[in-house]
Amino acid sequence: MKNYYLLRLAMTLKMTGYSFTTVTPATHARVNSRLQGRWARNLTDVFGWSCPFWEGVISPELFEAMRNADVLNPQGDGWISRVRASTLHGQLFLHSAFPTTTSDAIFFGPDTYRFTNAIVRHLAGNTPVRRAVDIGCGAGPGAVVIALERPLAEVFAVDINDMALRYSAVNAGLAGATRVVTKHSDLLNGVDGGFDLIVANPPYLLDVHERIYRHGGGSFGEGLSLSIASLAKTRLAHGGTLLLYTGTAIVDGNDRFRAAVASLLDDSALEWDYMELDPDVFGEELDEPAYAEVDRIAAVLLTVRRIRL
């Protein structure tokens, strides 16, 4: 029933023509600092910039949908939404409001756009996909994009965060991606068999609070990404591809994640390539003690293909 009301909210918002591109947390904070003390004037302020609002700012139908979906928090003599909504590839996605401070928060941002763009580019080559999985699906954009591009494919959206699975199911339903199956799974431990396409946009930072959506573990946040990369050896079907969008710490000019990948994927059954998509992301993290040795954090795309069994 909770999913039903959340979906009704998303449908009501989508019918308004709402559109919003989610920025980095640092940019969001800067914009909000300019708006300090300002209450929402429109839907973008309510569902994009996470501003407090008075009931009359939105339609009675939308306010009732928010109440039924239980996403309203009291704020002074008004309210604030616990959800944000972003548009991507013509679809609307619900996810966590700013700031994403809770342990089960569902992150959405510039990484999400780069990640899904990589998926779309891969699928533009008419690559056949019968079975696919989005590991650590979050709000479900990877799974939804695959399902819309390959409507006959069986697509799994897996996560250890039950809140993420709920939002993925709602967002898939809103997009009409009827073949997306949400499943609780630690990496691929909860699903069987091989896949023609494995995609992942995992957390790749070191987070002192070890929040699910941010903390990647390892020396500089690369631990989870290496675990996912290793799945190419065991879970890719013949001709299958792993697309791993992640971040890497550059230390003294050296990309430590790439070096670890080169050793991990030293297998004649696999071929892989590696591309730096953005040389400088989450620069504010370099102020943290864990990154005292790091020059920069880069966004990268690892593509692994199984060329023989």
With residue 302 as reference, give the H or E element that holds it: strand 296-306
User: Does residue 42 surpass a pLDDT of 70?
Assistant: yes
Helix (H, G, I), strand (E, B) or coil at 217: coil
Mean of pLDDT values over 97-121: 95
Region of residue 184 (left: phi > 0; alpha: psi -120 to 50; beta: else):
beta
Helix (H, G, I), strand (E, B) or coil at 120: helix
- Amino acid type, 226: L
Where are the domain boundaries for CATH 3.40.50.150 in the chain?
A: 110-306
| Cα dihedral value 99, 89, 301, 229, nearest 10 | 80
Segment 192-209, tens digit of pLDDT = 999 999 999 999 998 888
Mean of pLDDT values over 171-191: 97
Chain centroid to CA 266: 29
Three-state helix/strand/coil letters over 147-161:
HHHCCCCEEEEEECC
DSSP strand pairing (254-255 vs 180-184): unpaired
Helix (H, G, I), strand (E, B) or coil at 247: strand
Mean of pLDDT values over 144-150: 98
| pTM given for the model | 0.96
Cα(first)–Cα(last) distance of the chain, in Å? 45
Cis peptide upstream of residue 25 (ω within 30 degrees of 0): no
In this structure, which topology does domain 110-306 adopt according to CATH? Rossmann fold (3.40.50)
Segment 2-27, tens digit of pLDDT = 799 999 999 999 999 999 999 999 99
Segment 286-309, tens digit of pLDDT = 999 999 999 999 999 999 999 988
- Amino acid type, 5: Y
Segment 236-263, tens digit of pLDDT = 999 999 999 999 999 999 999 999 999 9
